[in-house]
């Protein structure tokens, strides 16, 4: 299941986001979208988790959580 993670702090790396989601299960891939000109995070990314149950648990637990001073939003990617 692919999840959209929004409102990420600009200084968070893909490794930070991966570690956050790995506490809820296995992570297949993790991408933080970067601005091509500045190389700075655009504040959102995608996490793919192979097991839907783990992905739903992560989504429910992490949505609205404060991470590095930003309240992240997690939902299923369309």
Per-residue pLDDT tens over the stretch 20-51: 999 999 999 999 999 999 999 999 999 999 99
Q: Is 42 left (phi over 0), alpha (psi -120 to 50) or beta?
A: alpha
Q: In whole numbers, what is the pLDDT of the chain averaged over residues?
A: 96
Inside any domain, residue 18:
yes
Tokens of 65: 């959580």
Inside any domain, residue 72:
no
Q: What are the C-alpha distances in Å from 43 to residues 7, 12, 36, 40, 53? A: 5, 9, 13, 9, 26
Inside any domain, residue 52:
yes
Inside any domain, residue 34:
yes
pLDDT band at residue 1 using 50, 70 and 90 as cut-offs: very high
Q: How many domains does the chain have?
A: 1
Inside any domain, residue 40:
yes
Inside any domain, residue 22:
yes
Global pTM?
Answer: 0.94
pLDDT score of 2: 98
Residue 26: give the domain boundaries: 2-62
CATH of the domain at 54: 3.30.70.330
């Amino acid at each position: 299941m692919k999840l959209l993670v929004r409102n990420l702090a600009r200084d968070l790396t893909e490794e930070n986001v991966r570690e956050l989601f790995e506490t809820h299960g296995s992570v297949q891939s993790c991408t933080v979208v970067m601005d091509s000109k500045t190389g700075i995070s655009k504040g959102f990314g995608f996490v793919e988790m192979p097991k839907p149950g783990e992905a739903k648990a992560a989504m429910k637990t992490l949505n609205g959580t404060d991470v590095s001073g930003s309240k992240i939003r997690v939902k299923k990617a369309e």
